[in-house]
Structure 1
Amino acid sequence: MSDDLNIVTDQWLTIHSDDIRPEIDVDSLVEPASVEPLATIPTPIEQTKNFPHTDEVPDGCTVISDLDEDDFGYSVSFEEVTYATRTLADGTSMDLPMWVFTPGLDNAPESHMPEGGWPVIVFVRGSAFHEQNVPDYSNYYVRIAEKGYVVAAMKYRHSDVAPFPAQMLDCKTAVRFMRVNAERFHCNKDRVVLWGDSSGGHTVLMAGFTGDREPDTPLYGEESAEVKAIVDWYGPTDFVKMNFYASSQNHSAPECPEGVEIGGVDVLEYPDRSRVASPMSYLSADVPTPPTLIMHGGRDQLVPFNQSCRLYATMKALDKDVTFLKLDNACHACYGFRSARALNIVFDWLEQKL
């Protein structure tokens, strides 16, 4: 202890000595201590369950004997990185951040990293194509990473500064960035999945269906943008048809999310632009498509349920590997989608596809 600390401690004791309560004889209330200090018991993490059990139970202590398994899964760490810098139409530049959530093995006796590294989920948070609040889904990212996935939650150029196809191009770049940095994040570049909700669902469908084909971008071109699977949560798929099904908002006006995404024009007056921005336009029987899981709520007030029906029907007609689940009473991003059960459906599906 330093001299300065000694002085401070002595001063405190002088002022507060009357406040110190009489010492309780704790030793008489608990199991007697060893006569001599005990030698340490070397215990590697994988042998934690074999550490000696204590039978000590103080009077009044409740013993729970049937709780000996952890269900949170892996510990999770995260960092923010810049995965790309884009030049915008006005000549300014925009850094694109990504939040990478990585599973950890610290103090996890039964856990191990899969051979080849952790599988990767590039997650695209929805935003009606406007600027995203990516961290507001951090509870999802942590839950996913706990299950043994590296989660790369990316931010794309939003439609107010760069319309379609900027978002899908940024998504492809994020996939390639994770492959370039596979060793850094201890991930398996051969097990990459895309997962997105709402406009993020549209983005991952577009990026996943096109892979290394156009529209594309050259950044990190030494790596592929192809993925093993796609998870689409209530993404729009056919802009022209959205206004013909029940919704709480207009989907055709130039200022609506879909109108801004295709350049600030009326969706119904520019069907060709909408067709180019439709995931179904990039599907064909002779081009492989990643297995796709679609989940959509039966009470979705923003993206009509029919949007996923159209995608599913198209994929089925082309004999694609597609699974469609209707959460009957779920709305847009709630009343079902914020549940462990919904996440477990995805995890079980991914386990089959990876």
Structure 2
Amino acid sequence: MEEAVADCVGVLGAVTDRDWAGVRAGRLEWSCRETALHIAEALIGYAGQLAGREADGYAPFEIALEEGTDNAGALRVIGTTAALLAAAVRTTPRAVRAFHPYPFRHANREGFAAMGVAEVLLHTHDIAEGLGIPHEPPAELCSFVLTRIFPHVRPGPSPWRTLLWATGRGDLPDREPVTAWRWSNNPVLRSERLSLEGVTPAVAADLSLGGGGGFEWVGGEPAEGTREGAGIMHKQYEEGAFQPEWTMYVLVRDEDDRAVGAMGFHGAPDADGRVEIGYDLVEGARGLGYATEALRTLSAWALARDGVKTVAAVVARENTPSQRVVTRAGFTRIPWDGDEFAYELRG
């Protein structure tokens, strides 16, 4: 957040003597002055959501600049509200989620950080474009935003150009112009003892490269199958096939916020309404019913989606514990020509 604001102030601080109120901000309907105030409003709003643990709507407040505040003062307010959001992000526990409408009505601290950085980068661009000055923020900041709240956007020739295209502010070769857009925070499903947290491309990349994905794992690290699945998810992102809901979910134990395994879909449902699911647990969390509980939750969620008729699972013949898991979750074994056992749960 601090780096994004430093970029904003570095670009716009040199032109505070210009008429911001009388100039339209790029493609927006707002003036440059109104856009600067909007940045501050967004940042303090996100900080309020996290700090207040708002669950069902926006905290009912707004801010205004004092009469007579010049453009340099407006930049100071942006810096102050960004500092408040950064503090809220740092002090909010990892598992906390607060209200935001897009698309699942909640976001975690990393989601709010990414939304705050996006507000600063994009609207600094709008103001700079309106004032006719160049602006290109650090690529790492753009990647931070893209891999957390634009998981459905295939990477382009550069992170900044991709972010501009994804928000209707630029063009990319061989891609249609974007005329309507929304970012996407990751989904979370709840079961009796677990939170099933959908992975972002950033989490998938970290897990696939040997990291913990931001989670504390029972036993110290995820199972190998989780790392392999995360690698598949990240490859889908790079190919533009990543869909936030039909991804891997990390299974987090509510009692201590520790991850016990992962479960997810091999892809979106096919034309017949069939979707395949896979999972694994770390060794120290097996035999406690977590896999069955999560499988029931994720399967029920999938079958409630429009067009989904069947959830399928394929289990190795020698993997008796997993066969018991799918059976307890309500799956039925079906005829299968392969070397494994196939199971289905129909809606």
- TM tier relative to shorter chain: under 0.3
Normalised TM-score (structure 1)? 0.23
> Is the helix fraction higher in 1 or 2?
2
Q: TM-score, normalised by structure 2?
A: 0.23
Q: Which has the larger radius of gyration?
A: 1
